[in-house]
Amino acid sequence: MDMVPLNNQISMPLLGFGVFQITEGSLCEQAVLHALKTGYRMIDTAACYGNERAVGAAVRASGIPREEVFLVSKVWIQDAGYEKTMRSFAKTLENLQTDYLDLYLIHMPYGDYHGSWRAMEELYAQGKVRAIGVCNFLPDRLVDLILSHKVVPAVDQIELHPFCQQKALREVLAQYHIQPMAWAPFAEGQSHIFTNQTLLDIGKSHEKTPAQVILRWLRQEKIITIPKSVHAERIEENFAVDDFTLSPEELDHIGRMDTGHSLILDIPSLAEVHRLHGIRFQQ
């Protein structure tokens, strides 16, 4: 398992397993359990996904020691602010049946995220979280957060795939030694990504699928990613990306696929702000 050092010197797997939209408890538990048996050692969940309990159950059922599994979760907008974040974090630990997280993230750059960050800095200082970070923070709010607090985020989890490569944002992340982490590495199947001719041609030369080519590209770019599937064969396929290497020319071809904009989540959009603020859940 390839690892990457974060800016606080702890190491994190470059490839993990995501559980976004796997809302059925038993289905989620079985998918995570199969991922762990396949060899994944990082699981990414969130309070608003509604599946932290299933993730925790799978980790316990796997028999893998807790210290060998890198657990990630997130605090949602409705729980932004110091006190709410503290309560949400305690519920996350209860759901996952663990006494610490490896990485805790602010899920969206909305609401009182400064209050959330104060809480997360405190949890980090207490050793209840090994690293803290953010999701979907663009340069302006990211740098504002950095300049307003003591701890620099270790990770920024962002929409990142061949059609949205976040090159400008990644330059800012590099400046502050923040590790990019890609959600939706397959662009949620949009723009015919699985039948894209560039990816098909590269995959053919390595006897790999377009999905495997994307995951290998991210690996070579040192970008953490969290592909999701509930199908055993896909879970295994997504893990099998260590036995080939993309050439500089192939990396360049993928680099040229970038459209320069999001396909899934338009963070600055007022409509998106209203939509995401409207999402409520019971943790």
Q: What is the mean pLDDT of residues 133-147?
A: 98
**Greatest CA span in the chain, whole angstroms?**
54
Q: Could you tell me if 226 and 17 are in contact, meaning their C-beta atoms sit under 8 angstroms apart?
A: yes
* Confidence tier at 1 by pLDDT (50, 70, 90): confident
Q: What is the mean pLDDT of residues 91-100?
A: 98
Percent of the chain residues past pLDDT 90, beyond the cut: 98
* Confidence tier at 156 by pLDDT (50, 70, 90): very high
What's the pLDDT tens digit per position in 166-221? 999 999 999 999 999 999 999 999 999 999 999 999 999 999 999 999 999 999 99
Mean pLDDT of the chain: 97
Report CA-CA distances (Å) from 43 to 14, 110, 192, 268.
11, 24, 27, 28
Q: What is the mean pLDDT of residues 130-137?
A: 98
Q: What is the mean pLDDT of residues 101-106?
A: 98
Residues 6+ apart with CB under 8 A from 167: 258, 260
Q: Residue 148 has what pLDDT?
A: 98
Given a cut of 90, whether residue 145 has pLDDT beyond it is yes
Q: What backbone torsions phi and psi does residue 180 show, to the nearest 5 degrees?
A: -75, 145
Percent of the chain residues past pLDDT 70, beyond the cut: 100
Catalytic residue among 49, 104, 113, 124: 49
pTM of the model: 0.97
The two tokens of residue 221 are 């770019």
What's the pLDDT tens digit per position in 161-179? 999 999 999 999 999 999 9
d(CA 55, CA 71): 9
What domains sit in the chain, N to C, each tagged with a CATH number?
3-277 (3.20.20.100)
To the query of whether residue 82 is one of the catalytic residues in this protein, the response is no
